[in-house]
């Protein structure tokens, strides 16, 4: 055999054959490949014919190799042929009866569960769900929310830019769209991803926010407190001790941060609450009159309140998690543990 | 901002320890942490008045019910004029942005050395930290032409007789004090926040002074701080003479700001009636002067010069709320009424939720990925040019996705590397297509079609599983859907099939193209599917409607049919659906056999049911015969019933 075709050459030929077979697009090209590699005049067939000229010992060792090469090509051809026949798109188009789908356990993402829970609460209160673009104009994200260009309060937001637009840094940008679309009175929520250049165990460059905006003639800060108290108790399904601290948001005045007694240590002090017994949970306030004006609502007739809460933050507290990044690692072994 | 306990206690006498002070400051919006003997205060952009020890002391004094005396400053030394007189010039509109300016030319007995130069700069820093007033010193003898002038270009620039010295209040490019300086020009000014806003960032000259100017300084302190600085410099640098004073504008005390506050508005905002005397008392405690009109129903409030954050009545209401204590405002539920609008929102949300439930019940795990992805993924998976972020955090998150497949495949690779071989993931989310944003759903299947078990096949996922999934997701439409092969639209797929419902694209699916396996480090059989969410939430709502089950029994009839070569099972089922009366509620192919001659034989179960009555055999037979007749007309042979 060695004076005809070296075994190494045949092995190289095998690699080429397998590659070409894999790439064959239809049955006719596959047939051409069969003739080329296994036909009577093919190198493999000719080599097999020459086997009888070898000694018994050589025939045993070389023969086994040669047969193995031929079988590999044959198997590949058969497999490809089967695939082209059964797995081809043309066959697929005709195949139409109900295919049973078996699956392992799967669940909603915990962030989805959290958002659904929030949605349910707000729908009970007759809120409308509104939405806006995630790639937002500077006007809706900042200017209309009383954050003029170059104002230092813009530094509170680590903003991603796309040419002359921004990735919305908060769902508050939906406020103006909602007011212009629905007018007053209004009870609206917006929920979805928001973006800021920040990443660590408690911050993510993309995170989800819930924004609530209520506008009516008689709404006041006491009503805001009432809604927040009930929201938190419905969400955590328990009595929640809440406190408000003065804060600053350009789009609300008066503004406050809301803390709740740590749900993990019952206010006794733990790592999560940094031993304070309190957890910062959301920002809120009465809608700034200039924001109402941008929303084409007369601030002399109407006033309202708004609050924004991080969905990840709520989910972490609800499920007792300390690292926000787990939500975006998307490991089913982690995610499958959340049922409600 | 950090201040030491010692600095604070110079101004106010407080019995409590630093952590108790930090807690109280936090409760009024100055979020504070104790760091050793220092208070680390995170200032919000509105509280420029607290960017000094004096400012924090003011707040502490209010919190602890103390009266903080006005700071006492030294007076200016006697003027000792010299021969060389410096002239001050400015563009006429500059005083709109800088209403008040004051500079002193000081002559030292001995020129500055390295140590005294450091002492000078340190003294100016200290004055800024204590009183919040930035001061600047530059070398008088380095100024040519005995002139300094302020010119407005993009920023306000400082010039001398030769040319530009630098950006005023931010950075001098020449004439700064150095070793050897003997005459100093020491200046301060009332820059309005709007004059400074954005300049520091635009010119990349972010400084402590710019920080304070952007947030507003107390203009009434400028003169006092300047005089106090001169006295302190004398103590540090030795005797110095005041040779000249340069100034423009009226003293800031000449510009009091007043706000009219109707008490009715306070009650309307806070949901609580308050006595005029209570409001007056609290506003006076924060430094306001209050006059009452119309039987106390209207207050005129004069705002202290350091409170630049109080511009409107609502900001005064915030101060009053603080005075009451936000926790003491009652929590009152507003009156609610059911809204029709919310029904629509609820419907859309329910459809979305139900669709996801179907995917989950089919074994697909929901995942959520970032909307920004690696540009290489986009290049490989999509024909649309993605939008690039101007300031991405990393290249892996530098473009906005145009398909959900990138995140799913990357995660698949991550999980495959962790020995998770059989995976079914789905995601819903926004894709960014140029000016348009589109919500989509997508899923990926990898590995075996069925979980490992003695009773299941070991076969990998294939196109039939995708079809099975579609039929499971859209059962009422399943037999009416069209499956079309398309080319050149989906570079992610080896070949693509679009599923259409009355010409409208429902989704597309196909196996991952071989060339992408290396890019994502993937292995095994991988199938992808993606569709528009709007089809689910807007157009396919009827398929997600929950149908109430009939109370009456279902009747089953099985047909064994032989299909000629040219007839597909699909066409056979369509005939059954078309001819079946309203009593035919479901059908199912329960057996299938292909003979060697190519003829197919199938077993179909037909289910008849009424929502109103129990069906008689006669009614079922009538409907069944109509179906059989139609099938036979189309060349399909009935083998058995």
Q: What is the 3-state secondary structure (H, E, C) of B322-362?
A: HHHCHHHCCCCCCCCCCCHHHHHHHHHHHHHHHHHHHHHHC
pLDDT tens for each residue of A137-175? 999 999 999 988 877 767 666 889 998 899 999 999 999
In this prediction, residue A323 has a pLDDT band, given cuts at 50, 70 and 90, of: confident
The answer, yes or no, to whether residue A3 has pLDDT greater than 90, is no
Pairwise CB contact (< 8 Å): A195 & B371: yes
Q: Are strands B2-4 and A303-310 parallel, antiparallel or unpaired?
A: unpaired
pLDDT in the model for residue B336:
66
With CA atoms as reference, report the closest residue to B482 among A93, A91, A95: A93
Sequence-distant contacts of A23-27: CB under 8 A, at least 24 apart: A24/A80, A24/A84, A26/A84, A27/A81, A27/A84, A27/A85
- Whose CA is closest to B153, among B96, B204, B94? B94
pLDDT digits (tens, 9 = 90+) for A214-243: 999 889 999 999 999 999 999 998 888 899
Chain position carrying tokens 């002391």 = B57
Q: Chain A, 8-67: which have a CB under 8 Å from a chain B CB? A: none
Tokens of A228: 């927040």
Using a CB-CB distance cutoff of 8 angstroms, which residues of chain A are in contact with residue B417? none
Contact A286 B314 (CB under 8 A): yes
Quickly state the pLDDT bin for A87 (edges 50, 70, 90). low
B584-594 and A278-287 strand pairing? unpaired
Contact residues on chain A for B397, CB-CB shorter than 8 A: 205
Q: What is the mean pLDDT of residues B617-633?
A: 92
* DSSP state string for B182-222: -EEEEEEEE--HHHHTTHHHHTT---HHHHHHHH---GGGH
pLDDT tens string B356-407? 998 998 889 999 999 999 999 999 999 999 999 999 999 999 999 999 999 9
pLDDT at B296: 79
The strand pairing partners of B499, in sequence order, are: B483, B507
Whether B152 shows a pLDDT value over 90: the answer reads no
* Reported confidence tier of residue A100, pLDDT bands at 50, 70, 90: very low
Residue B105 pLDDT > 60: yes
Query: Can you tell me the mean pLDDT for B197-221?
Result: 83
Q: A183 in contact with B at a CB cutoff of 8 Å?
A: no
Smallest Cα–Cα separation from B364: which of B284, B294, B262, B441?
Answer: B441
pLDDT in tens, B448-470: 887 777 766 778 888 888 888 88
Per the CB < 8 Å rule, is B333 touching A156? no
- B-facing residues of A in 73-92 (CB < 8 A) are 87, 89-90, 92
**Interaxial angle between packed helices A43-50 and A7-23, expressed in degrees from 0 to 180 and rounded to the nearest 10:** 150
Residue of B nearest to A242 (CA): B327
Q: What is the pLDDT of residue A4?
A: 59
B268 and A195 in contact by Cβ < 8 A?
A: no
CA proximity to B366, closest of B412, B428, B448, B410: B428
Q: Per-residue pLDDT for B514 more than 80?
A: yes
Distance from CA of A16 to the nearest CA of B (A): 17
What span, in angstroms and rounded, lies between the C-alpha atoms of A1 and A58?
9
Higher pLDDT, B253 or A186: A186
The fraction of chain A above a pLDDT of 70, given in percent, is 91
Q: With an 8 Å Cβ cutoff, are B45 and A151 in contact?
A: yes
**Section B300-326 average pLDDT:** 90
Q: Which of A160, A226, A331 sits opposite B331 (nearest CB)?
A: A226
Tell me which residues of chain A, numbers 295 to 334, contact chain B at a CB-CB cutoff of 8 Å.
303, 327-333
Cβ neighbours, 10 Å, residue A181: 15
Element spanning B629, H or E: helix B617-633
Mean pLDDT, residues A270-284 taken together:
85
A275 DSSP assignment = T
Is B568 in Cβ contact with A94 (below 8 Å)? yes
Chain A nearest-CA distance from B182, in A, is 38
Percent of chain B with pLDDT over 70: 96
B318 contacts A246? CB cut-off 8 A: yes
Return the pLDDT at A96: 44
Label residue A97 by pLDDT band (50, 70, 90).
very low
**Separation CA B228–CA B282 (nearest Å):** 32
**Rounded to an integer, what distance in angstroms lies between the CA atom of residue A237 and that of residue A114?**
13
Q: B204: left (phi > 0), else alpha (psi -120 to 50), else beta? A: left
- What is the count of residue pairs from A and B with beta carbons less than 8 Å apart? 287
Mean pLDDT for A77-88 is 74
The residue among B19, B40, B44, B393 with the most chain A CBs within 10 A of its CB, best to mutate, is B44
**Which residues on chain B are in Cβ contact (under 8 Å) with A253?**
312, 314-315, 317-318
CB atoms near residue B302 (< 10 Å): 15
Inter-chain residue contact A245 with B26, CB threshold 8 Å:
yes
Across B467-491, average pLDDT: 82
Q: Any CB–CB contact under 8 A between A212 and chain B? A: no
Chain B CB within 8 Å of residue A182 CB: yes
What mean pLDDT value characterizes chain B? 88
User: What pTM, to 2 d.p., does this model score?
Assistant: 0.78
- Position B547 pLDDT exceeds 70: no
Chain B nearest-CA distance from A266, in A, is 19
**Nearest CA distance, A31 vs chain B (angstrom):** 22
**Closest CA–CA distance from residue B67 to any residue of chain A (Å):** 22
**C-alpha span between B85 and B96 (Å, rounded):** 26
Query: In terms of Cα–Cα distance, which of A204, A271, A281, A194 is closest to A235?
Result: A281
Region B14-18 average pLDDT: 90
State whether A135 and B321 contact (CB < 8 Å): no
Residues in A closer than 8 angstroms to B484, CB to CB, are 93
Chain-chain contact of B326 with A93 (C-beta, under 8 angstroms): no
Cα A252 to Cα A284, A290, A294, distances in angstroms: 7, 10, 13
B265, B390, B453: which to substitute to probe chain A, counting the most A Cβ within 10 Å? B390
Burial class of residue B613 in the structure, from the number of CB atoms within 10 Å of its CB (0-12 exposed, 13-18 middle, 19+ buried): exposed
The whole-angstrom distance between A333's CA and the closest CA on chain B is: 9
Q: What is the pLDDT of residues B229-250, one digit of tens each?
A: 999 999 999 889 999 999 988 8
Are β-strands A165-167 and B526-532 bridged in parallel, bridged antiparallel, or unpaired? unpaired
Residue from B40, B214, B368, B467 whose CB has the most chain A CBs within 10 Å, to mutate = B368
**pLDDT class of A95 with cuts at 50, 70, 90:** very low
Q: Do you find a cis peptide bond into A185, omega within 30 degrees of 0?
A: yes
- Pairwise CB contact (< 8 Å): B334 & A214: yes
Question: pLDDT at position A265, please?
Answer: 81
Report the phi/psi class of residue A318: left, alpha or beta, with left for phi > 0 and alpha for psi in -120 to 50: alpha
Q: What is the pLDDT of residues B422-456, one digit of tens each?
A: 899 999 999 999 889 999 999 999 998 877 777 66
Enter the DSSP assignment of B619: H
Query: Which residues on chain A are in Cβ contact (under 8 Å) with B371?
Result: 134, 193, 195, 206
CA distance B169 to chain A (A): 17
Is A243 within 8 Å of chain B by CB? Answer: yes
pLDDT for B603 equals 93
Highest mean pLDDT range out of A250-264, B144-158, B162-176? A250-264
Q: What is the pLDDT of residue A124?
A: 86
For B46-80, the DSSP string reads T-GGGSSHHHHHHHHHHHTT-PPPPP--PPPPPB-
Contact A221/B450, CB-based, under 8 Å? no
A2 close to B (CB below 8 A): no
Contact B451 A286 (CB under 8 A): no
Instruction: State the nearest Cα–Cα gap between B329 and chain A, in angstroms.
Output: 6
* Chain B residues whose beta carbon lies within 8 Å of the beta carbon of residue A133: 437
- CA B96, CA B74: separation in Å to the nearest integer? 29
Q: Say if the Cβ atoms of A255 and B318 lie within 8 Å.
A: yes
Q: What is the pLDDT of residue A98?
A: 41
Pick the residue of A19, A79, A90, A98 with the most B CBs within 10 A to test the interface with B by mutation. A98
Cα–chain center distance at B289 = 39
What average pLDDT score do residues A290-308 get? 94
Task: Give the span between the Cα atoms of A227 and B343, in whole angstroms.
Answer: 20
Q: What pLDDT is stored for residue B511 in this prediction?
A: 93
Of B28, B321, B451, the CB nearest to A221: B321
Mutate to test the interface with A, among B206, B270, B321, B511 (most CBs of A within 10 A): B321
ipTM: 0.80
> Residue A200 above 80 pLDDT?
no
Which residue of A lies nearest to B565 if distances are taken between CA atoms?
Answer: A94
pLDDT digits (tens, 9 = 90+) for B552-583: 999 999 999 998 877 788 788 888 888 888 88
Place of tokens 């005797």: B239
B250-293 residue pLDDT tens: 877 767 889 999 999 999 899 888 888 889 988 998 889 999 88
pLDDT value at A284 more than 50: yes
């Amino acid at each position: 055999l060695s004076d005809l075709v070296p075994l190494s050459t045949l092995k190289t030929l095998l690699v080429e054959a397998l590659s070409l077979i894999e790439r064959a697009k239809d049955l006719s090209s596959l047939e051409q490949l069969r003739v080329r590699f296994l036909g009577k005049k093919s190198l493999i067939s000719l080599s097999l014919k020459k086997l009888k000229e070898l000694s018994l010992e050589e025939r045993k060792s070389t023969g086994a190799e040669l047969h193995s090469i031929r079988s590999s090509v044959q198997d590949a051809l058969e497999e490809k042929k089967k695939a082209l026949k059964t797995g081809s798109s043309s066959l697929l188009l005709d195949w139409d009866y109900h295919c049973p789908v078996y699956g392992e356990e799967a669940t909603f993402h915990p962030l989805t569960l959290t958002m659904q829970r929030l949605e349910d609460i707000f729908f009970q209160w007759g809120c409308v769900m509104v939405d806006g673009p995630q790639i937002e104009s500077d006007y809706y994200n900042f200017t209309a929310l009383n954050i003029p260009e170059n104002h230092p309060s813009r530094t509170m937001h680590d903003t991603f830019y796309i040419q002359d637009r921004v990735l919305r840094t908060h769902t508050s940008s939906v406020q103006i769209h909602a007011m212009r679309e629905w007018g007053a009175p209004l009870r609206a929520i917006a929920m979805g991803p928001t973006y800021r250049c920040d990443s660590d165990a408690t911050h993510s460059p993309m995170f989800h926010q819930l924004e609530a905006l209520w506008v009516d003639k008689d709404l006041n800060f006491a009503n805001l407190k009432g809604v927040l108290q009930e929201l938190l108790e419905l969400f955590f399904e328990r009595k929640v001790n809440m406190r408000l601290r003065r804060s600053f948001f350009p789009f609300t005045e008066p503004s406050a941060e809301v803390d709740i007694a740590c749900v993990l240590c019952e206010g006794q002090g733990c790592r999560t609450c940094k031993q304070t017994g309190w957890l910062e949970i959301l920002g809120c306030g009465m809608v700034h009159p200039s924001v109402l004006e941008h929303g084409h609502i007369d601030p002399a007739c109407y006033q309202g309140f708004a609050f924004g809460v991080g969905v990840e933050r709520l989910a972490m507290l609800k499920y007792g998690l300390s690292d926000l990044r787990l939500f975006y690692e998307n490991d089913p072994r982690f995610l499958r543990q959340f049922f409600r | 901002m950090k201040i030491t306990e010692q600095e604070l206690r110079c101004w106010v006498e407080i019995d409590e320890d630093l952590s108790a002070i930090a807690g109280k400051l936090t409760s009024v919006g100055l979020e504070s942490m104790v760091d050793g003997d220092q208070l680390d205060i995170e200032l919000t952009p509105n509280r420029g008045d607290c960017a000094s020890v004096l400012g924090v002391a003011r707040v502490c004094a209010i919190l602890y019910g103390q009266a903080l005396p006005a700071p006492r400053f030294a007076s200016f030394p006697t003027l000792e004029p010299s021969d060389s007189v410096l002239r001050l010039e400015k563009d006429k509109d500059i005083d709109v942005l800088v209403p008040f300016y004051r500079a002193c030319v000081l002559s030292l007995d001995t020129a500055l050395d390295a140590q005294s130069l450091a002492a000078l700069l340190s003294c100016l820093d200290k004055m800024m930290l204590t009183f919040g007033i930035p001061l600047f010193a530059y070398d008088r003898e380095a100024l040519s032409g005995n002139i300094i002038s302020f010119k407005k270009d993009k920023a306000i620039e400082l010039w001398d007789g030769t040319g530009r010295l630098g950006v005023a209040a931010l950075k001098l490019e020449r004439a700064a004090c150095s070793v050897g300086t003997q005459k100093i020009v020491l200046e301060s000014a009332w820059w309005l926040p709007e004059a400074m806003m954005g300049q520091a960032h635009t010119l990349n000259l972010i400084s402590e002074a710019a920080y304070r100017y952007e947030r507003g300084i107390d203009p009434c302190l400028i003169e006092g701080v300047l005089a106090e600085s001169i006295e302190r410099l004398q103590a540090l640098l030795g005797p110095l003479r005041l040779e000249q004073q340069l100034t423009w504008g009226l003293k800031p005390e000449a510009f009091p700001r007043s706000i009219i506050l109707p008490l009715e508005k306070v009650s309307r905002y806070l949901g609580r009636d308050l006595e005029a005397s209570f409001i007056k008392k609290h506003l006076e405690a924060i430094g306001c002067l209050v006059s009452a009109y119309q039987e106390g129903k209207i207050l005129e409030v004069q705002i202290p010069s350091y409170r630049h954050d109080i511009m409107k009545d609502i900001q005064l209401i915030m101060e009053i709320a603080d005075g009451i204590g936000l926790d003491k405002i009652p929590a009152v539920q507003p009156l609610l009424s059911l809204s029709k609008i919310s029904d629509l929102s609820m419907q859309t949300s329910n459809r979305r939720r139900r669709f996801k439930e179907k995917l989950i019940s089919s074994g697909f795990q929901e995942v959520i990925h970032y909307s920004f992805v690696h540009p290489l993924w986009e290049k490989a998976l999509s024909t649309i040019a993605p939008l690039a972020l101007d300031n991405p955090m990393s290249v892996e998150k530098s473009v906005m996705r145009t398909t959900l497949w990138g995140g799913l495949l990357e995660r698949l690779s991550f999980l495959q590397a962790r020995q998770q071989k059989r995976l079914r993931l789905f995601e819903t989310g926004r894709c960014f297509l140029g000016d348009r944003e589109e919500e989509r759903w997508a899923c990926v299947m990898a590995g075996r079609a069925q979980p490992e078990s003695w009773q299941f096949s070991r076969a990998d996922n294939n196109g039939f599983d995708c079809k099975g999934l579609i039929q499971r997701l859209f059962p009422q439409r399943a037999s009416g859907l069209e499956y079309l092969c398309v080319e050149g639209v989906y570079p992610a797929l080896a070949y693509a099939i679009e599923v259409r419902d009355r010409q409208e694209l429902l989704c597309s699916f196909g196996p991952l193209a071989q060339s992408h396996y290396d890019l994502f480090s993937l292995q095994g059989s991988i199938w992808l599917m993606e569709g528009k969410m709007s089809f689910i939430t807007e157009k396919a709502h009827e398929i997600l409607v929950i149908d109430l089950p009939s109370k009456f029994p279902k009747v089953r009839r099985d047909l064994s049919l032989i299909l000629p070569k040219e007839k597909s099972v699909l066409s056979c089922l369509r005939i059954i659906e078309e001819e079946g009366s309203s009593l035919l509620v479901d059908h199912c192919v329960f057996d299938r056999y292909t003979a060697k001659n190519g003829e197919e034989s199938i077993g179909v179960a037909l289910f008849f049911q009424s929502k109103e009555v129990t069906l008689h055999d006669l009614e079922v037979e009538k409907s069944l015969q109509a179906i059989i007749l139609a099938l036979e007309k189309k060349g399909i042979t009935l083998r058995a019933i």
